[in-house]
DNA sequence: GTATGTG
DNA sequence: CACATACAACGCTGA
DNA sequence: TCAGCG
C-alpha cells in the first residue's frame, strides 16, 4: 500500500507561501494543501508519495459536503488508498471545504475541466481512470441511503508555469566538463548589497560623455565552436538567445531601449524599461537580447512576436550580456571579461531569479560541450566571445555563433561489441539520403543498462553478414537497417558524421502524437436504422462469425473507418451467401442497393460513362453490412478529384519462405527509403500476410505519373537489396523475397480500406498501426472482427491525422 | 442479396 | 416453377 | 496476342 507522507520542504519551494491549510490523513498519511498557485479554478496541492513529490491542481468549487471526511485516492502507480480529512481546504476567498462532487449515476465524457467548472456542469468518467492528465478521486462512502458516489478530480500540475526558474530547473547538469546550470545562468540569488563599481579603474576605460547611439556587435556564424586556444585568452561561451537584440541606454533613472535598427521600443518593452530605470547607476549602456522564455525554458522568436502583438510586456525578459558605458566611462576598449564582471556587479542588486532583467552568464572551455547541452534543451545555439576582445560596433570574428542542431532520428546500421558495457558498446548510424543509406558515425553514450539490453535483444536477431551500406567501419556488427534511434548531436563533420552524438532512445516517433478525441460519426439513430436479416448466418464455415458479427463490427469501428472512406470511390467485396467460394466484387450501382449509398458518374479506361459507388454517410455505410459486404476497397483519390490521387500504397507481399518478422523489417526499410525522399509512410496490415505502406500525398499529379513514380520507387528499393525485395510480378522470382506491389496506384485500382475486414475465415482486418505497435504484433490475423473494436476504443485511430502529413510528390516526367 | 434470364 | 447467372478491372508477365 | 495473375 502506498504511503502518502507529508511533504516537508526537502525542495525549495520558497516561491510558494507557507501552507495555509493542512489535511492530515489516517494511518500516518497526510498531505499539505497550498492555496498558493490557485487560479480562479484550482488549488495547488502537493503531496509526497513514496518519496516522490507530486503536484496537483485541485479544482475549487462549491462544497457540497462540508462534513466529508474521507477520500479515496488512486493514481497510475498507486493502488487505491485513502486520505482522511481532518481539516478541509482552508476557508477563504475560494469558499473552502472538500472539493468537487458529482453524481456517479450520470457518466459522461468529460469536456474541458475548466469549462465544466464555469458552467457548473461537472461531468467525469470512471474511478481511477486517467483523464486529461489528471485522476479521479473517489469519496469512499456514499451517504447512507444515497445511491451516489462523489468524485474529486485531481489534475496533474504543470510545473512549467514560470519563466527563469524553469530554465534552471529543467536543465540537467552537464556530465561533461562539470558544467552546471548555475554556470549557464546565475543561480537564483538574493538581491545583494551594491558593491562599489569603479569603471574608471578598468584597463581601456575612457572618460567621455555617453554615446547616444551604438551599433551592436554581431557574431560571425561558424559550423563548430572555436577550440580552446593555445594562448591565455580563452573563449567565453554564452547561450544564444532567439529574440530581439536590444541596447538599453540608462540615464538619470530613465531608460531607453533601442532595437538593432535604431528604433526606440521603450514603450513596447514597458516592463523592461521600468526595470532598467532601477539599475543603480547614473548612466549605462547595456547590450542584450529581449526574449520570451516559454514553459520549457526555451526562448523562441515566435513567442516573442506573440507577446509583442498582444502587448504582454510582462512576459519579456532581457538577458544582458555586455556593458558598454558606465557612469562617465566608455568601456568599449575594455576586455570583454572585465566588462561582464562589471555588468554582473552592476545588475546584482536588481537581478533575482524572476526579475525581468537577467545576467547572461558564460562558461569557458570547450564550447562544444555547451553546444551539446544547449542542443539537448532545444535552444538556439551558443555565442563564443574572446575574453580579451574589445567591443566592435560591427560584425566581428571575436564573436562567433554556432547554431545548435536539432535532435534527429538515425537508422541503426550496426553496433560494436564491448564486454565491459554489457555486450554493446556503440551504435553505428546511417541516414537515408535520396533513397540510399549513408553512414553517419557512431554513438557511444546515452545508454543505461536496461537500454543496452533492449538494444541488444532487438539487434541480435537481425544481424547481417555484410554491411548494408558503404563506408561502414569494419568493427561494426552489421544489422538490418530497420530500427531508428533518436540522436542529439552538436554538429556534423564535413563528411557528414555526427559529433557529440548522444543516444536518446529507440524511437518510432509516434507521429500522431496527440490523439484527437474520438469524433462521433455514427449516431444512435444511425445504428437503429440498420436491420439485419439472417443475423445468425455463419460466414465461411459452421463455427465462423455471423452476419450480425459483421454488422456489429462495422458499427463499432465506423467512427475510425469512415474518415478514410468518405468521398472515395469504393469497391465492395460481398458474400451474401456467406460461402467462401461465393464472393464477388461490386463497384457499380446494383439493384436493391440502399439508396443511402453514394453514386457518381465517371468514365472507365475505355472512356465509357459509368456510375461508381462511394460511401457518403454513416447510414449508407451501415446498411451495406446487410448486403453481405465484407470488404471495402477504395481508390487512392476522392471522387471530387478523381484524376489526382491523394494516397499511394505499396503492398508488401511475402513470397514463400518470408516470415512475418521479415515483412515487418521490410516495411521499415521501405519506410526509411520513402522518408528519405520526404514522404511520410503509414503502415497497416493488409489483412492477410502482408503489410501496406501508405503515403498521403498532395493531389497534384495524375494517375499515369503517380503509377510511374511509385514504380520507380519500388524498383529503386528493390534494387537496393535484391536479396530481400522484388518489384517484379513474376511468380517464381518471388521465393524468399518480398514483392513490392505498386500496381494499386493505377487509375481504377483499389486497395483494402483501413479497418476493412477481409473475406476469409476469422475475418481479419486491414489494421492501421503505429510503427512501434507493429513491433508488438506477432500474428496479423489476431487483428480481426472481434478483437479490433476494443483495441481501437482504447488506443484510437493511429492514422487519424494522416492527411496532415501529405507530401508533394515531385512530378515525374512522361 | 437481388434481379433477371432460361428451360 | 426451379434453377442459373451477374454482380471489377488494371497493368504486367510469360508463353 | 492472349490467358493468367494479384
Nucleotides on chain D that have an atom closer than 7 A to a protein CB are 4-6
Report if CB A741 to strand D is under 7 Å. yes
On whether the CB atoms of residues A291 and A304 are closer than 8 A, the answer is yes
Out of 2.160.10.10, 3.40.50.300, 2.40.50.140, 2.40.30.20, the CATH code matching A409-507 is: 2.40.50.140
The dotted CATH code for A647-811 is: 3.90.920.10
Catalytic residue among A240, A340, A377, A385: A240
pLDDT per residue as tens digits for the range A145-183: 433 333 333 333 333 322 222 222 222 222 112 222 222
Q: Which of A94-103, A128-137, A328-337 has the highest mean pLDDT?
A: A328-337
pLDDT per residue as tens digits for the range A473-511: 888 999 887 788 888 876 677 778 887 788 888 764 344
pLDDT of the residue at A406: 65
Q: How far is the CA of A761 from the C1' of D5 (A)?
A: 23
Residue A645, pLDDT above cutoff 50 = yes
Q: Which nucleotide is nearest to A547 (CA to C1')?
A: B1
> What is d(CA A46, CA A513) in angstroms, rounded to the nearest whole number?
28
Nucleotides on chain C that have an atom closer than 7 A to a protein CB are 7-14
Q: Which of A130-144, A240-254, A295-309 has the highest mean pLDDT?
A: A240-254
pLDDT of the residue at A691: 95
CATH class (in words) of the domain with range A211-403: alpha beta
Question: Which residues interact with strand B by a CB < 7 Å criterion?
Answer: A 532-534, 537, 547, 576-577, 582, 584, 590-592, 626-628
Nucleotides on chain B that have an atom closer than 7 A to a protein CB are 1-4
**Residue with CA nearest C1' of nucleotide C10:** A749
Domain with CATH 3.30.470.30 in chain A: 211-403
Q: Which long-range contacts does A146-150 make (Cβ < 8 Å, 24+ apart)?
A: A147/A105, A148/A103, A148/A104, A148/A105, A149/A104, A150/A64, A150/A65, A150/A68, A150/A101, A150/A102, A150/A104
Q: Which CATH fold would you assign to the domain A524-641?
A: DNA primase, PRIM domain (3.90.920)
| Predicted TM-score (pTM) of this structure | 0.46
Report if CB A729 to strand D is under 7 Å. yes
**Average pLDDT of span A260-266:** 88
Of A447, A442, A445, the C-alpha closest to A496 is: A442
pLDDT of the residue at A353: 64
Q: Which long-range contacts does A88-93 make (Cβ < 8 Å, 24+ apart)?
A: A88/A21, A88/A23, A88/A63, A89/A21, A89/A23, A89/A33, A89/A35, A89/A43, A89/A58, A89/A60, A90/A20, A90/A21, A90/A33, A90/A35, A92/A20, A92/A35
Q: Would you place residue A246 in the very low, low, confident or very high pLDDT band (cuts 50, 70, 90)?
A: very high
Report if CB A710 to strand C is under 7 Å. no
Q: How far is the CA of A539 from the C1' of B1 (A)?
A: 14
Q: Which nucleotide is nearest to A578 (CA to C1')?
A: B1
Q: Would you place residue A295 in the very low, low, confident or very high pLDDT band (cuts 50, 70, 90)?
A: low
* ipTM surpassing 0.90: no
Among A27-41, A302-316, A388-402, A458-472, the minimum mean pLDDT is found in A27-41
Report if CB A777 to strand C is under 7 Å. no
Q: How many residues does chain A have?
A: 814
Among A44-58, A312-326, A431-445, the minimum mean pLDDT is found in A44-58
- Retrieve residue A448's grid coordinates: 543505461
**Average pLDDT of span A610-621:** 89
Residue A264, pLDDT above cutoff 60 = yes
Q: How far is the CA of A639 from the C1' of C7 (A)?
A: 22
Residue A68, pLDDT above cutoff 50 = no
Count of beta carbons in the 10 Å neighbourhood of residue A209: 9
pLDDT per residue as tens digits for the range A42-65: 333 444 344 444 444 333 332 222
Phi-psi region at A133: left, alpha or beta (left = phi > 0; alpha = psi -120 to 50):
left
Give A329-391 as a DSSP string: EE-TTS-HHHHHHHHHHHHTTT--TT-SEEE--EEES-HHHHHHHHHHTT--EEEEEETTPPP
Q: Would you place residue A517 in the very low, low, confident or very high pLDDT band (cuts 50, 70, 90)?
A: low
Q: Which of A376-390, A438-452, A680-694 has the highest mean pLDDT?
A: A680-694
Domain with CATH 2.40.50.140 in chain A: 409-507
Q: How far is the CA of A810 from the C1' of D4 (A)?
A: 34
A240 included as an active-site residue: yes
Domain with CATH 3.90.920.10 in chain A: 524-641, 647-811
Report if CB A730 to strand C is under 7 Å. yes
**Average pLDDT of span A531-549:** 79
pLDDT per residue as tens digits for the range A202-226: 889 999 999 989 999 999 988 788 8
Residue A142, pLDDT above cutoff 50 = no
**Residue with CA nearest C1' of nucleotide C7:** A586
**Average pLDDT of span A576-593:** 86
Q: Which nucleotide is nearest to A575 (CA to C1')?
A: B1
Of A128, A59, A68, A70, the C-alpha closest to A95 is: A59
On whether the CB atoms of residues A427 and A485 are closer than 8 A, the answer is yes
Amino acid at each position: 500500500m502506498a504511503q502518502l507522507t507529508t511533504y516537508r520542504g526537502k525542495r525549495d519551494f520558497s516561491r510558494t507561501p507557507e501552507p495555509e491549510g493542512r489535511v492530515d490523513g489516517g494511518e500516518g498519511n497526510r498531505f499539505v494543501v497550498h492555496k498558493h498557485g490557485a487560479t480562479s479554478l484550482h488549488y495547488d496541492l502537493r503531496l509526497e508519495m513514496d518519496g516522490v513529490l507530486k503536484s496537483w491542481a485541485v479544482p475549487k468549487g462549491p462544497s457540497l459536503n462540508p462534513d466529508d471526511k474521507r477520500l479515496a485516492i488512486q493514481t497510475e502507480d498507486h493502488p487505491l488508498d485513502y486520505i482522511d480529512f481532518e481539516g478541509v481546504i482552508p476557508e477563504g476567498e475560494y469558499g473552502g471545504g472538500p472539493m468537487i462532487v458529482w453524481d456517479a449515476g450520470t457518466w459522461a465524457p468529460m469536456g474541458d475541466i475548466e469549462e465544466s467548472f464555469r458552467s457548473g456542469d461537472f461531468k467525469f468518467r470512471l474511478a481511477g481512470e486517467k483523464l486529461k492528465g489528471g485522476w479521479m478521486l473517489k469519496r469512499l462512502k456514499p451517504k447512507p441511503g444515497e445511491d451516489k458516489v462523489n468524485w474529486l478530480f485531481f489534475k496533474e500540475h504543470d510545473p512549467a508555469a514560470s519563466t527563469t526558474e524553469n530554465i534552471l530547473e529543467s536543465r540537467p547538469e552537464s556530465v561533461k566538463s562539470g558544467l552546471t546550470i548555475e554556470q549557464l545562468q546565475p543561480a537564483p540569488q538574493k538581491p545583494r548589497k551594491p558593491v562599489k563599481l569603479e569603471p574608471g579603474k578598468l584597463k581601456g576605460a575612457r572618460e567621455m560623455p555617453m554615446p547616444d547611439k551604438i551599433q551592436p556587435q554581431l557574431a560571425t556564424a561558424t559550423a563548430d565552436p572555436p577550440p580552446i586556444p593555445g594562448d591565455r585568452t580563452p573563449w567565453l561561451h554564452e547561450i544564444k538567445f532567439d529574440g530581439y537584440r536590444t541596447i538599453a541606454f540608462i540615464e538619470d533613472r530613465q531608460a531607453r531601449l533601442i532595437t538593432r535598427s535604431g528604433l526606440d521600443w521603450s514603450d513596447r518593452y514597458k516592463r523592461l524599461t521600468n526595470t532598467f530605470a532601477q539599475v543603480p547607476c547614473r548612466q549605462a549602456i547595456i547590450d542584450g537580447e529581449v526574449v520570451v522564455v516559454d514553459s520549457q525554458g526555451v526562448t523562441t522568436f515566435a513567442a516573442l512576436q506573440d507577446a509583442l502583438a498582444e502587448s504582454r510586456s510582462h512576459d519579456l525578459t532581457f538577458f544582458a550580456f555586455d556593458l558598454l558605458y558606465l557612469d562617465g566611462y566608455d568601456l568599449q576598449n575594455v576586455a570583454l571579461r572585465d566588462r561582464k564582471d562589471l555588468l554582473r556587479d552592476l545588475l546584482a542588486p536588481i537581478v533575482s531569479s524572476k526579475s525581468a532583467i537577467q545576467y547572461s552568464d558564460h562558461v569557458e572551455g570547450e564550447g562544444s560541450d555547451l553546444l551539446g547541452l544547449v542542443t539537448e534543451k532545444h535552444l538556439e545555439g551558443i555565442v563564443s566571445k574572446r575574453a580579451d576582445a574589445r567591443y566592435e560596433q560591427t560584425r566581428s570574428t571575436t564573436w562567433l555563433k554556432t547554431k545548435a542542431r536539432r535532435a534527429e532520428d538515425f537508422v541503426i546500421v550496426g553496433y560494436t561489441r564491448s564486454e565491459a558495457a554489457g555486450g554493446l558498446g556503440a551504435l553505428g548510424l546511417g541516414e537515408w539520403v535520396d533513397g540510399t543509406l549513408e553512414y553517419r558515425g557512431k554513438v557511444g553514450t546515452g545508454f543505461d543498462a536496461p537500454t543496452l539490453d533492449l538494444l541488444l535483444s532487438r539487434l541480435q536477431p537481425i544481424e547481417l553478414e555484410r554491411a548494408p551500406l558503404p563506408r561502414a567501419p569494419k568493427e561494426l556488427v552489421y544489422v538490418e537497417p530497420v530500427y531508428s534511434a533518436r540522436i542529439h548531436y552538436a554538429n556534423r563533420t564535413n563528411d557528414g558524421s555526427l559529433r557529440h552524438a548522444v543516444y536518446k532512445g529507440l524511437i518510432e516517433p509516434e507521429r500522431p502524437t496527440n490523439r484527437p478525441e474520438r469524433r462521433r460519426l455514427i449516431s444512435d439513430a444511425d445504428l437503429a436504422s440498420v436491420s439485419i436479416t439472417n443475423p445468425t448466418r455463419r460466414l465461411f464455415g459452421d463455427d465462423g462469425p455471423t452476419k450480425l458479427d459483421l454488422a456489429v463490427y462495422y458499427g463499432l469501428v465506423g467512427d475510425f473507418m469512415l474518415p478514410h472512406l468518405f468521398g472515395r470511390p469504393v469497391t465492395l467485396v460481398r458474400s451474401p451467401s456467406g460461402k467462401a467460394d461465393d464472393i464477388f466484387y461490386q463497384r457499380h450501382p446494383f439493384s436493391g442497393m440502399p439508396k443511402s449509398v453514394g453514386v457518381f458518374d465517371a468514365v472507365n479506361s475505355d472512356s465509357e460513362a459509368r456510375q461508381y459507388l462511394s460511401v457518403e454517410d454513416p447510414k449508407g455505410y451501415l446498411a451495406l453490412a446487410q448486403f453481405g459486404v465484407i470488404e471495402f476497397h477504395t481508390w487512392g483519390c476522392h471522387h471530387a478529384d478523381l484524376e489526382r490521387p491523394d494516397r499511394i500504397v505499396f503492398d508488401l507481399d511475402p513470397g514463400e519462405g518470408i516470415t512475418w518478422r521479415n515483412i515487418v523489417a521490410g516495411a521499415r526499410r521501405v519506410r526509411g527509403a520513402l522518408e528519405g525522399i520526404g514522404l511520410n509512410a503509414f503502415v497497416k496490415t493488409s489483412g492477410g500476410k502482408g503489410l501496406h505502406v501508405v503515403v498521403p500525398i498532395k493531389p497534384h499529379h495524375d494517375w499515369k505519373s503517380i503509377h510511374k513514380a511509385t514504380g520507380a520507387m519500388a524498383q529503386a528499393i528493390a534494387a537496393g537489396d535484391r536479396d530481400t525485395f522484388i518489384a517484379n510480378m513474376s511468380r517464381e522470382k518471388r521465393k524468399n523475397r518480398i514483392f513490392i506491389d505498386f500496381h494499386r496506384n493505377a487509375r481504377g485500382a483499389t486497395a483494402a480500406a483501413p479497418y476493412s475486414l477481409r473475406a476469409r475465415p476469422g475475418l481479419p482486418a486491414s489494421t492501421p498501426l503505429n510503427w512501434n505497435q507493429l513491433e508488438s504484433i506477432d500474428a496479423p490475423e489476431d487483428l480481426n472482427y472481434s478483437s479490433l473494436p476494443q483495441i481501437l476504443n482504447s488506443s484510437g485511430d493511429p492514422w487519424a491525422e494522416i492527411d496532415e502529413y501529405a507530401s508533394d510528390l515531385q512530378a515525374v516526367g512522361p
